[in-house]
Amino acid sequence: MKYQLELKEVSKSFGPVQANDGISFAIKPGSVHALLGENGAGKSTLVKIIYGSLEPDEGSMKWYGEDFCPTNPFEAREKGVAMVFQHFSLFESLTVAENIVLGLDNVVLDDVIISKIEKYSKQYGLSINPHQVVGDLSVGARQRVEIVRCLMQNPKLLIMDEPTSVLTPKEVTDLFLTLRKLADNGCAILYISHKLEEVRQICKYATILRNGSLIKNCNPQEHTKDEIAEMMIGKKIIKLARENIKHGKEIFSINSLSSKSNNMFGVDLKDINLSVRQGSITGIAGVAGNGQDELMRILIGEDNAPASSLEFKGLDITRLTSHQRRQLSMFFVPEERLGHGAVPSMGLDENMLLSRPNSSKMTRNNIIDWKQVRNLTNNVVDTFNVMTPSVSAEAQSLSGGNLQKFMVGRELIQNPELLIIAQPTWGVDAGSANNIHQALIALADSGSSVLIISQDLDEILSLCEQVHVLYNGSLSDSVDMQKNGLEKISQLMLGGAIQ
Contacts of 442 (CB under 8 A, 6+ apart): none
Check pLDDT > 70 for residue 497: no
Confidence band (pLDDT; 50, 70, 90) for 324? very high
In the chain, what are the domain boundaries? 5-233, 250-493
Q: Please compute, for residue 209, the number of CA atoms within 13 A of its CA located in the half-sphere on the CB side.
A: 31
State residue 415 phi and psi, 5-degree precision. 50, 60
Confidence band (pLDDT; 50, 70, 90) for 1? low
Each residue of 432-441: b (16+ CB within 10 Å) or e? bbbbbbebbb
Distance CA 149, CA 407 (A): 34
pLDDT in tens, 331-381: 999 988 777 889 999 999 999 988 877 777 888 888 999 999 999 999 999
Distance CA 232, CA 208 (A): 6
Distance CA 339, CA 341 (A): 6
243 vs 472 pLDDT, higher one? 472
User: Is 5-233's fold the same as 250-493's?
Assistant: yes
β-bridge mates for residue 470, sequence order: 475
Check pLDDT > 70 for residue 499: no
Domain at 5-233, CATH class: alpha beta
pLDDT in tens, 255-272: 999 999 887 778 999 999
Length of the chain in terms of residues written: 499
Does the domain at residues 250-493 carry the CATH identifier 3.65.10.10? no
Check pLDDT > 90 for residue 391: yes
162 vs 328 pLDDT, higher one? 328
Q: At what angle do helices 370-383 and 400-412 cross, to 10 degrees?
A: 120
Pairing of strands 269-277, 250-259: antiparallel
